[in-house]
């Protein structure tokens, strides 16, 4: 609720704080048990930061995160440990996120040790089961990360996240670093695992093409704010926010005769240190009106579970 993360900017000889990057600026959403909520937006829009705030891997500047009704910021040490077990993350870069000096069996076993979940032969058995679950054989346990392809490494990253039997998994662009041919394999694996284990996903991506297939609901972010939030099909069929329409137009249409035209935005994304007044999208919006540079549109519910922040939408 009303999540904010402002990073200080230091400047001058004394390194004083001269401003703030408003990476996440008043963002509210719910992720329901067992669903996938997709968060989409260009790089720098605050989606990864939002994921880290949800997991309390980054301290928020303002707002609150409730996990099963419990205020995550107020957790004591032992409650935080339980929360860490229940809420896991799969990172974007399967190259950087695995310790190159550890055999993958140990990488997957480590969180079980940390959380006192299993030890000895039971832990070994669980590691083998996890390796099978993510489509790698147990015979791989003794091999090192560099011996695996990108897609296989991401499978290892997923196995590690699932080792502690979490409820919520934040998937931070888990397929962006992978070859297109491998992406759908990993997405399918995530969907299968979700069904098997009853997982809830907060799924972060920079384009709609990846998340439209796996998200129940989708939130679109621009410059630190959610500008539209809706059921996934609704959002794709009937996008209300001009920025959502832009993202949609970037998805290749299989039929070359189809009428969807790619919308190319003018200019660069403004700096989140100095966001435009009024609607933050007004400097690039193809449908900008007079009011847009003056008044910030409220993020309003315009239908059942359908939210949008745009002056065009009545």
CB of 219 to ligand SF4, least distance (A): 15
Residues 6+ apart with CB under 8 A from 166: 85, 86, 87, 88, 199
CB of 242 to ligand SF4, least distance (A): 5
57 vs 298, which CB is nearer to ligand SF4? 298
186 vs 220, which CB is nearer to ligand SF4? 220
Token digits for 33?
């048990």
Residues 234-263 that bind ligand SF4 (CB under 6 A): 241-242
Residues 189-218 that bind ligand SF4 (CB under 6 A): none
Residue written as token pair 């147990």 = 138
In this structure, how many other beta carbons lie within 10 angstroms of the beta carbon of residue 180? 8
287 in contact with ligand SF4 (CB under 6 A): yes
What whole-number distance in Å separates Cα of residue 212 and Cα of residue 225?
20
Region of 23-31, 43-51, 174-182, 232-240 interacting with Mg ion (CB under 5 A): 43-51
49 in contact with Mg ion (CB under 5 A): no
Distances (CA, A) of 287 to 62, 165, 183, 274, 299: 32, 46, 34, 22, 18
CB of 48 to Mg ion, least distance (A): 3
Positive/negative CA dihedral, 114, 120, 122, 123: positive
282 in contact with ligand SF4 (CB under 6 A): yes
List the one residue from 24, 104, 292, 306 that touches ligand SF4 (CB under 6 A): 292
What whole-number distance in Å separates Cα of residue 230 and Cα of residue 125?
42
48 in contact with Mg ion (CB under 5 A): yes
From the list ligand SF4, Mg ion, none, partner contacted by residue 48 (C-beta under 5 to 8 A by kind): Mg ion
């Amino acid at each position: 609720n009303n999540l904010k993360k402002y990073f200080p900017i230091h400047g001058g000889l004394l390194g004083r704080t001269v401003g703030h990057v408003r990476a996440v600026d008043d963002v509210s959403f719910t992720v329901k048990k067992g669903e996938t909520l997709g968060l989409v937006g260009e790089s720098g829009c605050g989606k990864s930061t939002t994921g880290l705030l949800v997991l309390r891997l980054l301290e928020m500047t303002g707002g609150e995160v409730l996990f099963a009704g419990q205020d995550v910021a107020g957790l004591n040490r032992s409650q935080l440990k339980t929360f860490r077990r229940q809420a896991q993350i799969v990172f974007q870069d399967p190259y950087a996120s695995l310790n190159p000096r550890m055999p993958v069996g140990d990488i997957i076993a480590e969180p079980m040790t940390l959380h006192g979940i299993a030890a000895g032969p039971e832990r070994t058995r669980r590691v083998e089961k996890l390796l099978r679950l993510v489509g790698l054989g147990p015979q791989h346990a003794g091999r090192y990360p560099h011996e695996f392809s990108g897609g296989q490494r991401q499978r290892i990253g997923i196995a590690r996240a699932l080792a502690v039997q979490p409820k919520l998994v934040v998937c931070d662009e888990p397929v962006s670093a992978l070859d297109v041919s491998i992406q759908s394999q990993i997405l399918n694996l995530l969907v299968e695992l979700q069904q098997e284990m009853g997982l809830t996903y907060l799924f972060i991506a920079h384009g709609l093409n990846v998340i439209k297939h796996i998200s129940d609901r989708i939130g679109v972010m621009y410059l630190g704010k959610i500008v539209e939030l809706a059921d996934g099909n609704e959002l794709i069929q009937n996008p209300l926010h001009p920025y959502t329409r832009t993202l949609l137009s970037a998805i290749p249409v299989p039929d070359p005769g189809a009428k969807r035209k790619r919308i190319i935005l003018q200019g660069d994304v403004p700096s989140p240190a100095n966001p435009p007044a009024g609607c933050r999208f007004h400097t690039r919006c193809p449908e900008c009106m007079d009011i847009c540079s003056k008044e910030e549109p409220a993020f309003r519910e315009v239908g059942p579970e359908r939210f949008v922040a745009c002056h065009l939408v009545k």
